[in-house]
Amino acid sequence: MAYAMILSACAATVSPLPSPVLAAEQSPTRTDRYIQWLGTSSWILSSGDDLVVVDPFFTRPSFVRVTASLMLPFVPSNFAYDPERIRAVLPELPKDTKFVLLTHAHYDHLLDVPYYINQNSGRSITYVGSLTARNILLGFKPSALDFVIAEQKPSMIKGRVRVTALPSDHAPHFFGHTFMAGDVVSPMTSIPSRVGQYLEGQTLVFLIDFLDDQERVVWRIFINGAANSAAGAEALRNHQSLLNEHRINVAILCVPGWDKVDDYPDTLLRLLRPEHIVLSHYDDFGSPYTPGEDPNDGMRFLPFANYDRFLERLKLLDTSNNYGYSIYQPKTGQCIFFPDSYSKASCPQ
């Protein structure tokens, strides 16, 4: 069971606990800028009429079920998304969704995406991820799929949001080994039925830029879905001119795996120098989603995440390097509003 527990990775005000759908659908004003964590690596990023969803995943199968699917390949398996669990959290993508970003293709990032593709057929929503992610999704035979392969087209604009995908890597899970590594090089011909078919593919980090009418960046978010090595930050280092275009206002950082690679998050922080850091992917996603779980009060943490030590590491790096960032530890389901939001209202409950 421990084998599966470690498969995954990775001046603002915090609102009272919202309803996930209402937070996106009934933003108090069109000038609001907020992010909302829905557990694991699932995020809603919103600025006015432009909204981005990252790694929507709410099925959250038990680690016992994951282990059985992975370790017993000759036993019949139906490792599939659970529509009831999905509908209990985010039954459909919000109306202003421009992009769905997929940081890699492990099950805790990709499993529920076919549900949203089918549920939102006919809407102008662009999915961005690796070639592997696309090839897995094609196994579901979607009637239509607006998918951008990040390895072929790293940057794109839709509405007033620009997304830039850069290659990274995935921290090892155990003893230097990353489970379910590898690529799916051709489109699947049938729906995947085992967890081991959700191979990692190319792990990506994203810069999400919200733009003004002249396509100038006014708010920038960085997100990774897995802790990465110093080598995994090389693409960021090679795009220094892009980083210099605008400060990273918010860096959403995966916690699990931080102690399995050297120099994380040190290398990222030297490159990004973010204004705010928001922690991600630390809840126990082998249990059903529960809104309001508090990392400072009884949250079920992902085993081996070493959350408290990562928080200490961030504080030490801030002090020793005089970065001056703020650190946010969201509850599941909470919104964080940011200073350029002109409404004092919180996410509707």
Q: What is the pLDDT of residue 77?
A: 75
pLDDT at 343: 43
37: number of Cβ within 10 Å: 26
In sequence order, what are the beta bridge partners of 234? none
CB 92, CB 25: distance < 8 Å:
no
Look up residue 82 and give its amino acid.
Answer: D
Into which CATH architecture does domain 2-337 fall? 4-Layer Sandwich (3.60)
Contact 103, 55 (CB under 8 A): yes
**Residue 164, helix vs strand vs coil:** strand
Q: Residue ranges of the domains in the chain?
A: 2-337
Which residues of the chain fall short of a pLDDT of 70? Answer: 1-31, 76, 175-176, 340-349
Q: Which secondary structure element, helix H or strand E, spans residue 158, and what is its range?
A: strand 155-158
CA distance 65 to 63: 5
The pLDDT value recorded for residue 342 is: 43
pTM: 0.91
User: Phi and psi of 265, rounded to 5°?
Assistant: -95, 20
Whole-angstrom CA distances from 343 to 95, 281, 309, 340, 347 are: 20, 28, 35, 9, 11
What pLDDT score does 76 carry? 67
Instruction: Give the separation between CA 317 and CA 298, rounded to whole angstroms.
Output: 26
Where b means 16+ CB within 10 Å and e means fewer, 263-298 reads ebbebbbbbbebbbbbbbbbbbbbebbebebebeee
One-letter-per-residue 3-state SS of 221-265: EEEECCCCCCHHHHHHHCCHHHHHHCCCCEEEEECCCHHHCCCCC
